[in-house]
Structure 1
Amino acid sequence: MDNTIKDQIRATILGQCVGDAIGLLTEFLTKDEAKKYYGSKPKTLEYSQKVPDFHRSRWSEGDWTDDSDHMILILQSLLYCKGQVNVCDFAFRIKRWMKNGFPELGDLGGMGIGATTHAILNHPNFILEPQKIANECWERSQRNIAPNGAVMRTSILGLHQWEDLEAVRKNVIEISKTTHADPRCQASCVAVSCAIALMLRHTQTNLSRNKPVALNVEDIVQEAYNRACLVLEKVEQKTELHFYMNCRKLKKLQLSEHGKIGYTYKCLGSGFWALRQENFQKALIKLVMEGGDADTNAAVAGAMLGCKLGLTAMPESWVTGLKHKDWLVRYIDRFLKLQEEMKLPLDERTSHDDLDCKVLEDSDKRQKEKQL
């Protein structure tokens, strides 16, 4: 794999995490409250400026939240399963995370879980048949809930098997349906992940050209929209999807709209608005100052814009200030190796036995015994 592609993958993952971490500064605030705490139009935002209220004080300075935790859980599942998507393996990991977080990082449990995901994870049969449980939960809601808990974690699936768009689409739908059965959630995930994969494919094509061609963002958006529409049956859902993917003005997204901040299309719209920007720092500051579910919106936006602009476009303090950056980078390196091995037969790919579910369970038991 060319180093340019590797750097683009690194920028996508780190972009998600810095977006998540900087978005925490205004998560659940209204736009007016964000202005009150951080100024009307701040030129800079730093992790150290985080308002120490009850919600924000649960995370250390520079820490990302559940949005990126769940993305990393998918990454870990892909590593252990040698590149195969296994919904039951992912289900085990997300349920374990809910109980323990990442113990090696000092977590005592998963924080920030949405109501929909929380209800599904607590079902006794979730690990055995996650998609069935998620669908039953959706049916009980009269098929009316479409939160952003799936799209927030999906960027990694745009990087995995990025050369094969149909594989990306199928992988995304499988993981999305593990907790979110609504087609709008799946369409959101397909759109974001396919846009990321398409950007990598553009880079790959440019590497073989004598004269590189500029990225056409509108072509990316249209292709991502077309693939996302395959998930949707209702015309009104496709029309709504088109609006959010093509919204040029943040104000029209109404990101702090009362009772609707967690709607999957709002997060989707944030990502595609960001994709059209040219300055990583300015775009993310402008986005998070809208308030609402700011960390989730900025996580998706950071991944997409990171993929487009690269690591050098991000403020150095945001990248170096990530609390667990070194831990994350080690996982990114393992993921990059997996991508290089995807053309090998399954039994020739690297094993990651430290991520075996049984090993993790035994480790959790020993940790609890120590605490007693």
Structure 2
Amino acid sequence: MAATAARLAAARLAAACLTAVSLTTALSLVTASDAAAGDVGYVTSQEAGSLSFVDLDSMTVEKTIAVPGKPAGIAVSRDGTRAYVSQPESRQIAIVDTVKQEVIGEVKVGGGPLGIAVHPSGSPVYVADWYSHSLLLVDPEKRAVVGTFETGQSPSGIAVSDDGSVVVTADRDSNQLSFFAAKTGEVIARVVVGERPFGVSFSEDGTRVYAANVGSNSVSVVDARGHFVIRTVPVGSHPYDAVETKGKVFVTDQYGGTVTVFDPEDGERLAQLDCCDYPEGIATGSDGRFVYVANWFANTLVKLDAATLEEIASVDVPDGPRAFGEFVRAAPTVGSEAGAGAGTGAAK
């Protein structure tokens, strides 16, 4: 009897230990999952020739890597495992493994690559060639240009619709936007906007496109389906880019050192935030609660609350941050295969 009782006690102890281990493992997995769910900012610093990985929860720089050639534009795959950086001076784009945080390849594109975006499926990568006045399609697996399509003069920013069907370029010296079928490169429409449009983006619901007009200190609000200007909204001096989140449009005003906020439905100005020093790139977090602004002169990345419009935090980054493009993504899951879902599909 005593031996039996001892065996039962040992079994109960083992079961309790196993349960404790299982619970600890489960909690560890939850913790890791929560940690992986945070956003990362991929900040190109043109003067420093670098790309910084910024933990946007803690607003700290995790790592900075060398990316020569005056890096400017940035695009990140939907799964967060690949980043693509335009290098105007070296006439190429860099491919970055964001899990390993290292450059794994380059693609020579010629001309002057500036704006850059990636299809929701992970391929192709779209590049605005400033000097050849064209939209380039790059296959990130083949590491080659697989298509070239004519834009207006000096294309700068690029935006891709969430469904992956349409690509838009801001053709600065033609004062227009060009709309392309993402799969074929066919021109859908050319829309005249304000003077010298630079940054371009889609609204949250995909029905509008915003063009930041550097030369006319305005943002053109364009119907994404009808291809006409709905309204023109006055903003600060020399607007660089614009993004929409939580029913507000945020615009970086380079020369004004401000961020203008307006209502996308009627263009009413809601605020003009004196928060920045030559602000350039602007992006929203994955849940839309925060807005991030790269400050060229201050060498900082600033975090704004989209609801209260208050500055929450800032972090120092290397010299000359531009972060031109959608530079924020949810962090890739720890242990995920680098490149999974990035560069493996065709444009739909």
TM-score normalized by structure 2?
0.31
Higher RCO structure (Cα 8 Å, ≥6 apart):
1
Higher strand share: 2
Greater gyration radius:
2
Higher helix share: 1
